Structure 1
Amino acid sequence: MDIVIYHNPDCGTSRNTLALLRHFGIEPHVVEYLKTPPSRALLADLAVRTGGSLRDLVREKGTPFASLGLDDPAIGDDALLDAMIEHPILINRPIVVSPKGVKLCRPSDIVLDLLPETVPSTDFRKEEGVPFLRDVRIPGDDPALRAALRAAELADDDLDEPGRAFFLYRTLAGEPVGFGGYEQFGVDVLLRSIVVLDAWRGTRIGRNLVPLLQRRAFDVGARRAWLLTPAAAGFFGKLGFKPAERESAPSAILTTRQAAGLCPSDTPLLTRRISF
């Protein structure tokens, strides 16, 4: 399978993506873009082929993003391209090109979208020790989802109502590890029904599951995540979520059944901008 990866060997996510490709017996063409940056035209083409925007490919952390004023949303693609060509560190990584499409593979599990479904299903772990995950879209009335939520004492009364997306998370070998879901309201999304199965608790699997859930929401247009959690604020804080006053949330979030009644009124509300 002919695959190209725009790779930064100093980036853990990029290294994980490359390692997973090799785990499946695929030796991609590796482009260390800091040494050999793509042309302006190629970079613009890659952005189009991801199906997103050029801004989605701009890396903020550890780059001159802020000092160059690129956080101004009024800056257009031409100026972004100029900056990315002059400062290749601004190109987010890894970008992977395959016959199935082009994606920014953050988190690294996303590269599975670009591989044949027939690749061998054997487990493999990231550098940080957590297994790569596949996510599978499931209906809200999935009995295993409902059972997991009830076991964790989480609300399950509104699972089969419209406007919700739910996922089952499994290891590459197919072992279920947990569930998650969201309700989207334009650029805002309520993350919900996040549960790790008992056998996987304490294994840091949630740190893999939650970013993957956010990425699926990001891909359908969400840019800010909200969640209500009665007991896991510390865990989500490690993932970049911060406490928020309820009056600061959009009305669409506050009028969800989760916020308006299924969760106690004193349940902490957390939020973060979705970015990769």
Structure 2
Amino acid sequence: MKLLRYGEHGLEKPGILDGQGQIRDLSGIVGELAGETLGRESLSRLKALDVGTLPLVEGSPRLGAPIGLVPKFLGIGLNYRDHAEETGMPIPEVPIVFAKATSCVSGPDDPILAPKDFQRMDFEVELAVVIGSRARNVAVENALDYVAGYCIGNDVSERSLQKGGPGEWIKAKSHDSFGPLGPWLVTTDEIPDPQNLDLTLDLNGERMQTGNTATMIFTVAELVSYISTYMTLVPGDVITTGTPPGVGMARKPRVFLKPGDELVLKVAGLGEQHAKVVALD
């Protein structure tokens, strides 16, 4: 299934894509795509629906992030071997886990806001994992059972803050609009192997990033298991799993985002994001 949320910011309704790629309204079935709705039993009930009988949503409404409530927004640093190498950093021995403020979550096509004092804004296409069931101390071999599905994430970062000293990552990665998710949440039955997905990012029509989740240092299952030993993961938690090579700070010359730039992000089976960078007054 491809689950989504549509409508104006703060007024989004739950929806689902039908076989023709049209949005069907789910608001008569579930109140929100969050919490227990993301659990296995709930998703099984949604999968059993005759989607064609649901109300058709006319036009092309704005899409919000596909999860209505994100209790924790976690990221993984340097999780692609070739990305770690391009930054000149050592290959991590254990996952590097950081947090993004949940207030940075935005829709897949919403503008990315550029404050005047941010001069080194960077892009990172990532596979985002959405937790569906409470997970604490889970084994690697069972970890994917706790996943509701996957979506595209863009871990937008202001590098001047990230490199400003210990503990600065959350400031660098949490400005409003720095966490686009979507366009939809694709359930695990449609993504049987999260370790074989192509990722790309284009900036103003030029390919910047190309990668495949097969080159991740730590797999999705390993990440879920590892994080669950340090904190309980709950439904709606999002983990962005690292980015392939080609980020702006590692290019020669460096390439950073500026107002007017347009981004297209793709992950196989998960759709596309289209975003424009807009100056924040």
Q: Could you say which structure has the greater relative contact order, defined with CA pairs below 8 angstroms and 6 or more residues apart? A: 2
The two structures have a TM-score, normalised by structure 2, of: 0.23
* Structure (1 or 2) with the larger CA radius of gyration: 1
